[in-house]
């Protein structure tokens, strides 16, 4: 129980990677507060409480700074402190750069960057020590496809945010690291597959898997295990790092050469 009685805040925890992180944290004994904009959160909280987990949900938009500050205060009053923050909430909308509106650009910037900024600043008021884990991506810092300019820009920014914040918080015994996922089977990936081929989205997922050395997409629980490691004392000498979890997808120099 490496996270026993630790108080963790997870944004975007009602589905996808966030839900995987929440489930793994609870498995390891953490008390978890989930922040999410989706009304599906109520159902998730009910299900987890029925399994006797110590979990609370807060429906909020991380773009709303005042709301986030109020939620963090409420979490701290209930649990006494915050030990772990996972900035998972994020959005991705594929669109060609020359056709992208300012509204779509700002949608990414306001949630992926400013929202993470808002949550982190509010949470730090209640953290005496602990761990912050930011969800970046291999997209942006390492690779990119057409249509991902806004998303890639924000995810690269989160890696810079992670490194600089780690330097500022190291003297407060707060570690800051980032996870750089490749393709994990999430609702976001399912949405991209449907946008690409509405009639046969499964073929898009199969095509993605063929380009990954492990020949499959990752699971949300596998990502959750990495987040739990970075949140725990098992990673006590790691800070300012971006850890890739991608099944080897960023390893090949080319997909057309082999033995």
62-97 residue pLDDT tens? 999 999 999 999 999 999 999 999 999 999 999 999
Residues 116 and 147 in one domain: yes
Whether 225 and 213 map to the same domain: the answer is: no
Same-domain status, 18 and 116: yes
* 161 and 227 both lie in a single domain: yes
Within a 13 Å sphere around the CA of 120, how many CA atoms are in the beta-carbon half? 27
The reported pLDDT for the residue numbered 246 is 98
Give the range of the structural domain holding residue 114, as residue numbers without chain letter: 7-182+219-241
State residue 191's pLDDT score. Answer: 80
Give the pLDDT confidence score for residue 196 in this predicted structure.
81
Same domain, 55 and 160: yes
- With respect to residue 114, please indicate whether it lies within any of the assigned structural domains: yes
pLDDT beneath 50: ranges in the chain: none
Helix (H, G, I), strand (E, B) or coil at 182: coil
Cα–Cα dist 251/259, whole Å: 15
Q: Is there a domain that residue 66 lies in?
A: yes
pTM flag (> 0.85)? yes
Query: Does 64 share its domain with 175?
Result: yes
Helices (H), the chain: 16-27, 41-50, 65-79, 102-108, 116-124, 149-169, 187-196, 201-210, 220-231
- Residues 27 and 66 grouped into a single domain: yes
> Any idea what the CATH number is for the domain that residue 75 is in?
3.40.50.720
In a domain, 251, yes or no: no
Residue 256 has what pLDDT? 63
Contacts of 259 (CB under 8 A, 6+ apart): none
E strand spans, 79-223: 84-87, 130-135, 174-181
Residue numbers annotated as active site: 151
**Do 113 and 170 have their domain in common?**
yes
> What CA–CA distance (Å, rounded) separates 117 from 81?
19
Angle between helices 149-169 and 116-124 (to 10 degrees): 20
108, 211: one domain: no
pLDDT of residue 204: 87
Question: Quick check: is 248 in a domain?
Answer: no
- pLDDT number for residue 255: 67
95 and 199 housed in the same domain:
no
Residue 258 is predicted with a pLDDT of 57
257 falls within a domain: no
**Quick one: 82 and 187 in the same domain?**
no
Report the SS3 class of residue 140: coil
What SS3 class is residue 176? strand
Q: What is the pLDDT of residue 227?
A: 98
Does some domain include residue 256? no
Same-domain status, 56 and 136: yes
Could you give the CA distance from residue 192 to residue 1 in angstroms, rounded to a whole number?
36
- Looking at residue 161, its pLDDT comes to 98
Q: How far is the C-alpha of 259 from the C-alpha of 253, rounded, in Å?
A: 13
Task: Give how many domains the chain has, as a whole number.
Answer: 2
Asked, for residue 208, whether it belongs to a domain, the answer is: yes
Is residue 2, in this structure, part of any structural domain at all? Answer: no
């Amino acid at each position: 129980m490496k996270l026993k009685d630790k108080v963790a805040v997870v944004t975007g925890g009602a589905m996808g990677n966030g839900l995987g992180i929440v489930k793994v944290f609870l498995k390891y004994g953490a008390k978890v507060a989930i922040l999410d904009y989706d009304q599906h959160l109520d159902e998730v909280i009910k299900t987890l409480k029925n399994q006797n987990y110590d979990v609370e949900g807060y429906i909020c938009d991380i773009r709303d700074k005042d709301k986030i500050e109020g939620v963090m205060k409420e979490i701290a009053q209930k649990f006494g402190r915050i030990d772990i923050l996972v900035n998972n909430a994020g959005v991705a909308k594929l669109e060609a750069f020359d056709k992208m509106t300012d509204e779509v650009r700002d949608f990414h910037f306001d949630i992926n960057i400013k929202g993470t900024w808002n949550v982190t600043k509010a949470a730090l008021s209640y953290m005496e020590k602990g761990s912050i884990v930011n969800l970046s991506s291999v997209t942006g810092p390492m690779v990119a496809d057409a249509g991902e300019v806004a998303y890639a820009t924000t995810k690269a920014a989160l890696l810079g945010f992670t490194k600089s914040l780690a330097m500022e918080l190291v003297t407060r015994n707060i570690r800051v690291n980032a996870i750089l996922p490749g393709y994990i089977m999430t609702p976001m990936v399912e949405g991209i597959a449907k946008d690409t081929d509405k009639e046969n989205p499964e073929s898009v997922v199969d095509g993605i898997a063929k380009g990954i050395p492990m020949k499959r997409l990752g699971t949300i629980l596998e990502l959750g295990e990495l987040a739990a490691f970075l949140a725990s004392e098992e990673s006590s000498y790691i800070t300012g790092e971006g850890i890739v979890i991608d099944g080897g997808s960023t390893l090949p120099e080319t997909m057309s050469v082999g033995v």
